[in-house]
Structure 1
Amino acid sequence: MSAAPQLDPVTLQLKWKHQFQFAGYYAAQEKGFYREAGLDVTIIEAAPGVDSTQEVVAGRAQFGIGTSELILNRYRGDPVIVLGVIFQHSPLSLVTLSDSGINHIHKLVGHHVMIEPSSAELLAYLYQEGFTQKAFVMQHHSFDLNDLLNGKTDAMSIYSTDELYQLQQLEHAYNLFSPRMSGIDFYGDNFFTTENELELHPQRVKAFREATLHGWRYAMQNSDEIVQLIYQKYTQRHTIAHLQFEAQAMHDLMQPELIDPGYMNVGRWQHIAQTYHYLGMLPEHFDVTKLLYLSNPDLDLKQLKIKFYYTAAILLVFH
């Protein structure tokens, strides 16, 4: 009888606490996709103040989850490589209570605002609307929705997939301001590694990526099962109903039937880089390709061309 194959131990650093936001990673773990890929994955939740990017760059984890701000990390010299995009549209938004009277973004002037770290897309949105940070009283983000409810702050950055559930349960009317209202459409959670990990363990990175995407496909097709799994095995911080709300809201941002989880587009990343340039955070012609894990760019291009020709042919037929 042969011994079981040795599994490769790796660590995945989440960017927040356990919740449906990370469903695909739990699915890959619990359904054995990581194990089948030869990996023994430890999933670590983040506490407030823990920067998932720095945990990976420092080598305390091999993989992590970050925002589109990974572009800025790359520019600053952190050797990060994005392996795939989970949210095609970022859930990061600003929320105010309706009874505050702040029902338009321009009514925020002079008010107290909490914006969490790694939220440059919100700053880009405000900048696009003609504001500087001096237009508001910027506060340290407490990650406590009660501070909005009891008036300690007037506007707070949230994930539309998460905190809105609490507001709806409390029957609090609210106003939601998304950067998309101003044409700023960033990717949401992206999973990543480092150049060093990719150079030393290319097969391990490939295996982790494929197993993770398998996990995300499974999670979004079987969300009720994964909601139960998260509640029973990972956390009861959120109720079943809250996790279900999160699953549905994420479905809307991911559109998994139309777009394969993990899919990312170089042109879209370039647009994000241009937005950062506009904010004075990046040089004008920043090359995003060094940031991205493109498994086989030539093959991807060929497939894209084939898809384009088929679409063109269909359009001609039905014209």
Structure 2
Amino acid sequence: MKTLNRRALGAVALGSAVALALAGCSGSSSSSSTTSPEASTSTDAASGELKDVTLQLQWVAQAQFAGYYAAVAEGFYKDEGLNVTIQEAGTDTVPIDVLAAGDADFAISWVPKVLGSIEQGTKVTDIAQIFERSGTTQISFKNKQIKTAADLKGKKVGSWGYGNEWELFAGMQKAGIDTTKDIDLVQQAFDMNAFLSGDIDAAQAMTYNEYAQVLETKNPDTGKLYTADDLNVINWNDEGTAMLQDAIWADSDKLASDADYADTAVKFIKASIKGWAYVRDHPQEGADIVTEAGSTLGTSHQLWMANEVNKLIWPSTSGVGMINKDAWDQTVSIAKGTKNETGSTIITQDPPETAYSNEYVTKALEELKAEGVDVMGSDFQPQVVTLNEGGN
């Protein structure tokens, strides 16, 4: 663990950079950037010793990405000789397009969303599968009697679409539901308002975000916050249709042709995993780092998110970031064999071998183990987080 002063200095620099970036694009949906404390505080000579690296997120600053922010604030990237800038995403940002255009060195994105881009010719590689488990669920109130995917038949089923629907459709189709006529599909906004008002029987909800939004809301019948006892949850990990989500992506051609870029990839993965190990062991500090970096989420919601994201990473089966072939093959199979509401599949054929590689994460894990970093988290125990109204 680094000194408190070091973290505090990094957190202040992160927060200031985000505030400036947001002020500069107020009213716009374009992405904003967070400059690492190394860039903000070092002298010209010192910053010249660090390699500039840009990471493109798939959304705004929140604890879903706490490991990367912690790696900045705790100086883990600096320890590897990297000066990392974190770019947030806007509503119209496609992380893989930013990476492919050369406007970022690495990007965070869900695997199924990227598989379609790869089939269209985008040359990128999953070099570290940070989330081992899926955080997507379908939730309903107990009185709806929806306990499994099969129970969605005849119901008003919420779906975000935009590439977030595949586990849901795979689960329903696996359960024998004809998704063209056996459900009433409802376009769900990226909030839980329609669900709470009764316009949706079963709504999509990430364990670390929308599920918490419901638990932060007062039940009008009781005047108290909803609890887990009020809800049924369909977990796609249990239903067998989970797909791989947050991964670190790199440029395939540069990995093959640029030895310096390949070396940087190993260093970036290594420092990022150290960041996630820090958040595992210090979830409150991890949540605070993201808040100080400019996230507008409430205090209890941010801690909930850090805790739930930890559950998707820890304990690790083979070491954080290793791409499990069975999980990859399941994701590809669903991407090829599941049709959404338009009758489309994500891909029509298997992706190329370059779509993922364990080469770089293996090197990073070997170095981390030699340094005594726990990359398995076998003893990980999640916290019990109490949510406050509105996530405050």
TM bucket, shorter chain: 0.7 to 0.9
Q: 1:33 to 1:228 in 2, by over 3 A?
A: same
Find out whether 1:138 has 2:138 as its counterpart. Answer: no
Compared CA separation, residues 297 and 49, structure 1 to 2 (3 A): closer
Task: Decide which of 171, 186, 190 is 1:125's aligned counterpart.
Answer: 171
Instruction: Quote the residue 2:61 is aligned against.
Output: 18
* SS of equivalent residue, structure 1 residue 177: strand
Task: Compute the RMSD of aligned alpha carbons.
Answer: 2.9
Residues 1:90 and 2:134 aligned together: yes
Shift in Å, 1:272: 2.4
Shift in CA distance, 60/151, structure 1 to aligned 2, threshold 3 Å: farther
Q: Which has the higher contact order (CA 8 A, sep 6+)?
A: 1
Cα 1:141/1:191, change in 2 over 3 Å: farther
Aligned residues: 298
> 2:241 and 2:72 mapped to 1: Cα distance?
34
Would you say 1:188 and 2:245 are equivalent positions?
yes
Could you say which residue in structure 1 is the equivalent of 2:236?
179
Quote how far apart the aligned CAs of 1:223 are. Answer: 1.5
Please say if 1:3 is aligned against 2:45: yes
Q: Deviation of residue 88 (structure 1)? A: 1.1
Say yes or no: does 1:206 pair with 2:263: no
| Aligned position for 2:284 | 224
TM-score normalised according to structure 1 size: 0.82
Distance of 2:135 and 2:362 partners within structure 1: 32
2:218 aligned with 1:147 = no
Q: Distance in 2 between matches of 1:296 and 1:50?
A: 26
Match of 1:113 in 2: 158
Give the residue type in structure 1 aligned to 2:197. Answer: N
8 Å Cα contact 1:197/1:205 also seen in 2: no
Match of 2:314 among 255, 266, 271: 255
**Aligned counterpart, 1:165:** 212
1:22 deviates by: 0.5
List runs of 5+ in structure 2 lacking aligned partners. Answer: 1-43, 218-224, 339-344, 365-392
Once residues 166 and 96 of structure 1 are traced to their aligned partners in structure 2, the CA distance between those partners, rounded to angstroms, is 13
Q: Which stretches in structure 1 are left out of the alignment for 5+ residues?
A: 301-319
Contact conserved, 2:109 with 2:249, CA < 8 A, in 1?
Answer: yes
Deviates more, 1:38-47 or 1:96-105: 96-105
What TM-score comes out, normalization by structure 2 length? 0.68
1:33-44 alignment to 2 at 5 Å?
Answer: 33-44=76-87
Checking the alignment, whether the CA contact within 8 Å between 2:160 and 2:190 is kept in structure 1 is: no
Report sequence identity in percent.
24
Describe the superposition over 1:124-171 as per-residue Cα deviations: whole angstroms up to 9, x where unpaired.
112211224323343444202112112343332221122222222323
